[in-house]
Amino acid sequence: MIRYLKSSVFTLSLIPFFLITYKIFFNKLGPEPVKEITHFTGEWTLVFICLTLAMSPLKRFTKLTFWINIRRMLGLFVFFYATLHLLTYVVIDYRFDWGPILNDVVKKKYIYIGFSAWILLIPLALTSSKKMVRLLKQNWKKLHRLIYIIAIFGSLHFIWLSKTIFFKPLIYTLIILFLLSLRIKFKKNT
């Protein structure tokens, strides 16, 4: 049963990827296609961050362990979409033109913080296997709390690239802050 549910979550998580691939191949990206891919992959990264963060509160409220069973997979999809997002920027948008890319990474805070978030995702992705969970024991949990910082970085990345105070980045920020606040209470109770 769990196995079946897990594979459906996996398939569902790939829908955005197939959707953007379809849009690329059938020229449905609109007047600014590169920005469309960038925004699409970026926004889905944030969605998966929110989903990943929602799993342990969901487990607490529903008393179902299913949520924890799919949590790591959702986390890996954060890395997957974040990597597509970064690759869009480096390969399609700037075509490996390292000068302006490095300039952005160093000087522009929204790029800097977005890039940092991606770097922080790497150790999480590398230690996502069952073997690594067993190997790292208590440290695994500590290490994977990095996702809290990544989530905040991700929402700041969105806020800082917007021209002024926009609705969407604020909504993501509020959701992330809400999901993080659930954890503060959790700790106090136990």
Partner 1 sequence: MKKFKYSEITPEKIYKKRRSFIKSFGFGFGSLALSTLPLINNSFANVDQNKVTSFEDITTYNNYYEFGTGKSDPYIRSQNFKTSPWNIKIEGEVEKPLEISMEEILSSFQSEERILKLRCVEGWSMVIPWNGFSLSQLLSKVTFTSKAKFVEFESVYDPDQMSGQRYPVLNWPYKEGLKIDEAMHPLTTVVTGLYNKKLPNQNGAPLRIFIPWKYGFKSSKAIVKIKLVEKMPTSSWMWASPREYGFYSNVNPKVDHPRWSQATERVIGNDIFAPRIKTEMFNGYGDQVANLYTGMDLKKYF
Interacting residues with partner 1 between 108 and 127 (CB under 8 A): 108-110
| Residue closer to partner 1, measured from CB, 9 or 159 | 159
Q: Which of 3, 95, 134, 137 binds partner 1 (CB under 8 A)?
A: 95
Q: How far is the CB of 145 from partner 1 (least distance, A)?
A: 29
Q: Which of 66, 94, 140, 148 binds partner 1 (CB under 8 A)?
A: 94
**DSSP characters for 110-145?**
HHHHHHHHHHHHHHHHHT-SHHHHHHHTHHHHHHHT
N-term to C-term CA, the chain? 31
Under the binding rule (CB under 8 A), the answer on residue 188 touching partner 1 is no
Say how many residues touch partner 1, by CB under 8 A.
Answer: 28
Task: Say which amino acid occupies 144.
Answer: H
What does the angle CA 74 – CA 121 – CA 47 come to, to the nearest 5 degrees?
40
Q: How far is the CB of 172 from partner 1 (least distance, A)?
A: 15
**DSSP characters for 73-97?**
HHHHHHHHHHHHHHHIIIIIISTT-
Q: How many CB atoms lie within 10 A of CB 68?
A: 12
Under the binding rule (CB under 8 A), the answer on residue 43 touching partner 1 is no
Q: Which residue has the tokens 């980045």?
A: 169
Under the binding rule (CB under 8 A), the answer on residue 27 touching partner 1 is yes
Report the interface residues with partner 1, using CB under 8 A: 24, 27, 29-35, 37, 92-95, 100, 103-104, 107-110, 160-161, 163-167
